[in-house]
Amino acid sequence: MGLQSTILVVDDDEALGMTLAQALRSLGHFVVYHPNPREALRLLGLIPPDLVITDILMPGMDGFEVIQAYQGKSKIVAMSAGQRIDGATYLRMAEQLGAVATIQKPFSLDEFISLVVPLLD
């Protein structure tokens, strides 16, 4: 495994967000998790993480805004279940905005790890 990466996880589903953060911490990475996108961005300030993992549909501020905040500064993974329109549409939009990878909810922890770990090298 390479050097420790700094990772931001943003998802209003706290159970999922905390599970993903813990899985990444167990791999030796420094992980900041927050359910509120505005607070997550405020906590990190001007220091872009190596990787941003964000849900798309969240109250108050959506994942597209998170992607735009880190576009060109961090690698970005977008996740969506897509309640209003199908999740695949949201994920295609996220890729157009700069996400390097996407994953459709629900997914297994193994699927998540196999998607994210190669991005950290």
In a domain, 32, yes or no: yes
pLDDT in tens, 52-106: 999 999 998 999 999 999 999 999 999 998 666 676 888 999 999 999 999 999 9
The CATH number of the domain where 54 resides is what?
A: 3.40.50.2300
Identify the band that residue 116 occupies on the pLDDT scale cut at 50, 70 and 90: very high
Whether residue 82 is contained in a domain is answered as yes
In a domain, 110, yes or no: yes
Predicted local confidence at residue 83, as pLDDT: 63
Decide: 54 and 76 in contact? Cβ < 8 Å: yes
Residue 41 predicted with pLDDT over 90: no
In a domain, 102, yes or no: yes
Q: Does residue 42 sit within a domain?
A: yes
- Answer whether residue 14 shows pLDDT above 90: yes
Could you tell me which residue, 46 or 19, shows the higher pLDDT? Answer: 19
Residue 43 lies in a domain: yes
Sign of CA dihedral 57, 80, 64, 112: positive
Domain extent at residue 93: 10-116
Q: Is residue 5 part of a domain?
A: no
Question: Can you give the pLDDT at residue 56?
Answer: 94
Q: What is the predicted pLDDT for the residue at 1?
A: 43
CA 51/CA 38 separation, integer angstroms: 17
Report the number of distinct structural domains present in the chain. Answer: 1
pTM: predicted TM-score of the whole model, two decimal places: 0.92
**Strand arrangement of the beta sheet that strand 101-104 belongs to:** 30-34, 6-10, 51-55, 75-80, 101-104
Residue 3, exposed/middle/buried by CB under 10 A (0-12, 13-18, 19+)? exposed
